[in-house]
Structure formats: structure tokens, C-alpha cells
Amino acid sequence: MLAELALDLRWSWNHAADEVWRQLDPGLWESTRNAWAVLQGVSRDRIGRVFSKPDFHQLVQALAHHRKQAMDAETWFHADHPQFASTKIAYFSMEFMLSEALPIYSGGLGNVAGDQLKAAGDLGVPVVGVGLLYQRGYFRQEIDAYGKQQALYPYNDPAQLPISPVHGATGEVLRLQVPSPGQPVWLRAWRARVGRVDLYLLDSNDSANTPALRGITSELYGGGSELRLRQEMVLGIGGWRLLHALGITAQVCHLNEGHAAFAVLERARAFMAEHGRDFPVALEATRAGNLFSTHTAVAAGFDRFPPDLVLGHLGTYAEHDLGISPRDFLALGREDSRNAAEPFNMAYLAIRGSGAVAGVSRLHGEVSRRLFSPLFPRWPLREVPVAHVTNGVHVPTWDSAAADQLWTEACGKERWLGNANQLGTDLRQVPAAALWRLRCASRKALVDYAREELSRQLAMTGASQAAVEGAKQVFDPEALTLGFARRFAGYKRPNLLLRDRERLLRILRKPGRPTQLIIAGKAHPADEEGRGMIAEWVEFIRRADVRPQVIFLSDYDMRLAEHLVQGVDVWINTPRRPWEACGTSGMKILVNGGLNLSELDGWWAEAYSPEVGWALGDGQEHLDQAACDAIEAEQLYSLLENEVVPTFYDRDAEGLPTGWVKRMRESMARLTPLFSATRSVKEYTDRYYLPAHSAYLERASDGGAQSAATVEWRNRLDSHWPLVRFGERWVEGRPGRNEIMLRLTLGGLVPGDVRVELYAEGLAGVPSTVVEMHRIESPTNATGDFLYGAEVSLDRPPSVYTPRVHPWRAGVSVPLEEARIIWFG
């Protein structure tokens, strides 16, 4: 019973079981927050003695009963979509942030993956996660006595992690292979339980592998291109093979970034083997069930590999397993298939293997359409087939105990699974004094934690006893507390606050209105610029006049993030627009009553209004980065001086900062439900998962007969598309309307193969217009011309409408799956 509880990561956000592990070994529990490590580290005698206590035994029994009730309860998915009871969605990601007890994450991408798995389990969405088990994970950070970041790589002992080995049908430890030059890579599999959801993790540290192959899953985002390519082969190819070995038939495959794109190839290969089809038909059938979420806002952020490296590792797989030539294989990851020097782009492969593509915020959808527009030449930017689902956070993971109590009293225990609109209505009824008590209690808890953590970190680096003891007195629980924590990278501008250090210090030390600032974050070990920016902050903080107001807490991980987002009054974020695809750190403070001061980028670009926080920037992109940085640094200081600090300290007769609490209330009520993973997973389910499930089943029916017919249609396009020509265009006036007419030569195609349209570019405030043209008569001359016509309103002159023709076939997504287009003129 204890083992079952310890191996379910649901208890990492539902803290009802914490007391169990605290009673078994309080020291180990506080240092690890790893229930499985506690259970493994405590003697059987100790467990027996504690378990014999009636109160402890009753607690465990109650937790087991509660877990069973939760697992058996009806969920949103089964209530709203009972016809999809057999659906299975495979969710592939390079990293998952679920708990500090399972350190296989770096930052934002893993945060999104972990929170979506948790929300899927809460909602009953039938998701299964697929990822990698890293022997050393992402590096752990230490700031040494000289203020420099040091990267440490402790070993992740599987026996101490909340995972269990996966066994085959006959009880043996499951092992499988993926291709590799010289010899295949043997993989082991592990299962992590996340409430109703299973996460399967692949591990190359198998004794049958050479040392180089055993190290494939050694580090997250470590090594060079070859290691990354091998990791992505293990994730994509190995991940799909693992599902097959487990007997899991997934109709939908969600690629969380392009790292997992090789899964589309292995899925197609499996279809080939099952139905005896060739690769083009198999890809045609399976891509309808694939969804690609892109998280990258700059082209340089996509994984790209040299062609020779790709063919060296996958050339045999392409020819023998997929039955395609090296040229055709590389073309799947290239913009220009004729350019032999062009690298292989994993995002391009994901797009060519998916039936839908989505960015992770509204602005990121716009940015992604620009990034991917080269794959859709001559299509208007607005029609580049990238939509968006704005990320959300798993609110129960990030709320404090005090926030949970306040929301429960106001909105009920199951609030995050119910009516989001009602949440806002109920929260707005909470008295101002109760909201302010939440903020004060949360800030005090953060100050207590920061003092303890800072003193421990100083002691670890050999600081003097006076410094260690002094750290236990830093900060004022009543003072305005700002937080800035994220990856230290140039585009995130973590040192924007340091642009005028003396002015920052004046803001922090204003008499009667003190402000304190907590900084945290890692720089990739290979990022010299990022490491240098950390050193600048540490140097600044070590000034005697700064030390009481600013601290840097090292080793920014999930546990530290929880304390920060629960306790800070204001979360500051300063990315260079539009490089923050979404950002989720600022979403986590919403439930706890914190406020955001952020660049109008990512999620904040769609969330911001003056009633809920403060905004940096003008909502535009600027080529002169240096000038923009100077302007926005000035704006940041001014906001702090003239709005943030005064609003926090302006109190009424009862001592309440009424303006501050008003912003708090509106931010909590309006934004918390909107930017939750519950909302984003529901959106993914309704907009993508269920349509993808149906589309895949239709294309795969009869062994892929429909897909084979679609491939024949494409082959026909290849032969005849160059012969398609526009003829004469003219306008005929009608009462109250115009009719635009034209002649079109299809050159061997039939009208059912194409769609003819009129396109008018949008104006300010007016969207673009697409009007389908209909065939009026069949060809009557030797050239095979067809006559098409369409009526348009008199609101705009006929000259703004340009005829165009593109391929069309029922069930085929244009232009995602077929990007050819011809324009008149």
C-alpha cells in the first residue's frame, strides 16, 4: 500500500500524503521531497513500528481509499466525449517537469509537458507520455566563492526515483532496439505514474551497449549534435516502438516540439508493416493523427543536423525500413530538396509528418507563421497553416496551502475542473482583507524559506559563520518582494534591471517604502554570455549597500520555483519581443495573488490589461535592440518608482493597500482560470485530439485505401500541375453586385482536383477575403478551358480580387499537406 502511494506522483501536488513520509523520516523527506526515496531509505523495522500506530495506519488507509475514489470518479472526458472511450493519445516530449523527485527537466518545455500530463489525468483525457530517463539529467547549479556558476551532474539512481521498470508480457524486463551505426542501441523502459496517466521513459544505460551508446541518455541538452541526434532517435523511433511493445495503440501522437519528430517516421513504418503499404501511403494515412506543437520563436532554435550525420545514422533505416532514397529522406527535413548542403531540420520533418501545427500563444502563432512561411511559398502569411493553443499551468501544482484554502472556501474543492466563468464570479466575492492576509502569509513563508536556503548555500561555499548567520536575518516579511527567475540567456535580458545600478538601489532602499528582490536562474554551461550575466548579479549583490535588499538563490529547480511563485508580490519578466514563445512562470503566480510586470510578449501580450498588472514595451518589434533596451530599462525603473511601489504602500485606514488588492482580485479572478492547463488541455482535446483521431481512422480504414487514392492524386498533380494556366479575366456588372469571370486551363486535371478562388488582401481592421469561384460550364474548345465565376459585393472594387487556384481533395488539409498554388497575373 505504501509503495503504491509513493510511486504515484499525484501526491507531489496533492499534499495530503506528505505527513506519511514526514513521519517515516522527516529529515530525508524535507531534503528530497521524494516519497519513494524515503520508503527505500527507511528500515523495515522503522516502517513496521510507525505503521503499527493506529493514527498512521488510518491515515494510509484513508489515502488509499481516497486515491481509489479519485481514480474511479467520472471525469470531464468520459462525460463529454463517451464516444471516444477507446481513444489513446501519445504525448512525446524531450523533458517532463513533474516533481523535484524526478529531475529529468530543464525548464519551460518540461514545465508545459508535465503540467499538461497532470491536467490530462485530472480531466480523464486518455494520454500516455513518452520521454527519456536521463542518468544525470540537467545540470545542478552552484555559485562558487568567486561568484561563478559551476555545473554539477549528480547521478539519478533509478532505484531512488519514483519509477518502476517495465516488464514484458511474460514477466521479463522489457528491452527494445533502435538503429545505430555498427550495432543497434538496446533500451530499457521505466514507468512513472502521474495520477490517471502513465509516463514511459526510455534509458540507454543497458549493459549490452558500448559505453558511448550507454551515454546517449546521460544528460539533457548536453553534448554535441551527434548526441542530440541519437537522443531524438531514441525518443521518436524508440518511443513509438515502446508503445507497440506495450500493446498501446495510439490514434493520436502529440509532438511537444520537434525533438520527437522521428516518431512520425516510425509510426509510418509500423503502418507499412501492418498493411503492406509503401512509405508515401503510410505517411499519408498516419500524419492525420499527428499534432506538432512548436515552442521556438527564432529559426536558430530548431534542431538542425548536417546531412552526412543524419544519413550516417539513419540512411540504412531510410532505405531498408522506410523504402525511400537518401535524397527523399533528407527532403522531409529541408526547405529546398535540391540543396544538398541544407541541414536536416526537425521542425520541418514534424510539419511534413503532422495533420496540424500549433504555436503556444497567440503572438507565437503569428511568429511561427513567419518562421514556416518558406515551406508555403506564395501563400499569404495569414494562411500559413499554424494556429495556436496558449499554454497554461497546472494550478494545483503551483498554489500554496494558503491559496488552496482561500480558493476552496470561495469556489469549492473541485473548482479547477468545473465552470471557469463561475470561478471568477466567486473569487470576486472574497473580502479584500482575506486577499491581503493571503498575500502577507505567502510573502512571510517565502522570506522564511529564502533565509534558510541562502544560509545553507553560503555555508556550502565556505562563507564565514557571520555571513551564514546574517543570511538568516535578510529581508523583511512586510516589504514589497519582487521575483526574477528564469534561464539566463541574452534574449531574456536578465540584466535589464542592472542597466542603472544606482537607480535600482534607490528604488530598493526608498525610505519608508523598501523593496526586496530575489534572483534565480541558470545559464547553459556552454553559454558564456549567460554565465557572465549571473556573475554580474552576484557581484552587484555582494556590495555591502545592496546585500540587505537583493539575494541570488542558486540551483533554480521546481522546488525553488514553487516557493518563489507562491510568495512574491510581483513577478518581473523582460524578454526581447517576440522571442518568448509563451512563458509560463508568470502564470504560476496568478493563483497565489502575485502580480505580473512583464514585456508584452508571449502569454502576457494577450493577458495584459491595466487592471491586472503592468506591461513593458509598446507591443512592437524593434530592430535596434540597443535603443530598445535603453528605452525599456527606463520604462521598467519608472513603473517601479511611480506605480508599483506607491500602489503597494498606499494604505487605507485599516492598513489595506486598496489599489493593490483591487489588481490582485482582478488578476486572480480573470486570469487564473484562463491560463490553466485545464483550459489548454480541453482546447487541445476538442480542437485537435478528437478531430485527429477521426481523421486518422478514416485515412487508415481498409488498410489505407483512401490514403493510397490520395497519393495517386498527388502523382497526378506532379504530372499535370505545370500545365495549369489562367486565361482571360473580366467583370460583369449585376444589380447590387459584380461578377468576376475567368477562364482556366487545367492541363489534364479535372475540376474536382482543384479549388479556384478570389483573394482580397485585408485592410486595417478588415480581414482578408476568400471567395470560392464555381465552374459555370465545361470546356467547349480544343484547349480544354473551363469557365469559372463568382459574385462579389460592391463594398470593394473588383480590382482588389485576385484569382488563384490550388489543389483540393476532401480530407486533405491545404496548404499544410499540399502547398502548390498559382496566382492570376
Residue 68: per-residue pLDDT: 87
What are the residues whose beta carbons fall under 8 Å from the beta carbon of 118, sequence distance 6 or more?
13, 98, 194, 195, 197, 394, 396, 397, 677
**Nearest Cα residue to 132 out of 257, 252, 232, 12:** 232
Q: Cα–Cα distance between 497 and 495 in angstroms, integer?
A: 5
CATH 1.10.10 fits 724-823, yes or no: no
Full-model pTM: 0.95
pLDDT of residue 617: 96
Q: What is the DSSP string of 545-613?
A: TTTTTEEEE-S--HHHHHHHHHH-SEEEE---TT--S---HHHHTGGGT-EEEEES-TTHHHH--TTTE
Name residue 558's amino acid: M
3-state secondary structure of 822: strand
**Whole-angstrom Cα distance, residue 814 to residue 821?**
10
DSSP label at 688? I
Tally Cβ neighbours within 10 Å of residue 497. 24
722 residue type, one letter: P
Among left, alpha and beta (phi > 0; psi -120 to 50; other), residue 316 is: alpha
Handedness of CA 586, 562, 91, 219 (dihedral sign): positive
- Give 741-776 pLDDT, tens digit per residue: 999 999 889 999 999 999 999 887 778 999 999 999
H/E element holding 744? strand 737-745
Residues 364, 582: contact at Cβ < 8 Å?
yes
Beta strands per DSSP E along 438-514: 480-485
**What are the CA-CA distances from residue 700 to residues 402, 707, 753 (Å)?**
51, 7, 21
The angle at the Cα of 617, spanning 613 to 618, to the nearest 5 degrees, equals: 105
What's the CA gap between 688 and 17, in Å, rounded?
A: 35
| 3-state SS, residue 483 | strand
Find out whether 613 and 571 touch, Cβ atoms under 8 Å.
Answer: no
Cα separation values, 58 from 19, 51, 332, Å: 12, 9, 59
Quote the CATH superfamily of domain 74-78+88-388: Glycogen Phosphorylase B; (3.40.50.2000)
Question: What ranges do the domains of the chain cover?
Answer: 74-78+88-388, 432-674, 724-823
Count H helices and E strands in the chain, helices first: 32, 27
Please indicate whether the domains covering 74-78+88-388 and 432-674 agree at the CATH topology level: yes
Task: Determine contact, residues 685/77, Cβ cutoff 8 Å.
Answer: yes
Tell me, what's the pLDDT at 102? 96
Q: Which cell numbers in the block locate residue 322?
A: 522506410
Give me the sheet containing 769-777, strands edge to edge.
725-734, 737-745, 785-792, 769-777, 754-760, 802-807, 822-823
Q: Mind giving me the DSSP string for 305-332?
A: E-HHHHHHHHHHIIIIII---HHHHHHT
The phi, psi pair for 54, rounded to 5°, reads -55, -40
Low-confidence ranges of the chain (pLDDT < 70): 779-784
Look up the CATH superfamily of 432-674.
Answer: Glycogen Phosphorylase B; (3.40.50.2000)
In terms of Cβ atoms closer than 10 Å to its own Cβ (0-12, 13-18, 19+), residue 169 is exposed
The three-state secondary structure class of 75 is coil
Amino acid at site 311? L
For the record, the C-alpha cell of 799 comes out as: 480590382
Render the burial of 228-265: b for 16+ CB within 10 Å, e for the rest. Answer: bbbbbbbbbbbbbbbbbbbeeebbbbbbbbbbbbbbbb
Closest CA to 423 of 80, 122, 120, 667: 667
Beta strand 164-165 with 175-178 is unpaired
Q: Which class for 693: exposed (0-12), middle (13-18), buried (19 or more C-beta within 10 A)?
A: buried
Residue 331 near residue 337, CB atoms below 8 Å: yes
User: At 676, phi and psi to the nearest 5?
Assistant: -105, 155
The CA-atom distances, in angstroms, between 721 and each of 626, 714, 804 are 49, 10, 13
Give burial (CB, 10 Å; 0-12/13-18/19+) of 544: exposed
The answer, yes or no, to whether the previous bond of 815 is cis (omega within 30 of 0) is yes
Give CA–CA dist 410/429, Å, rounded: 8
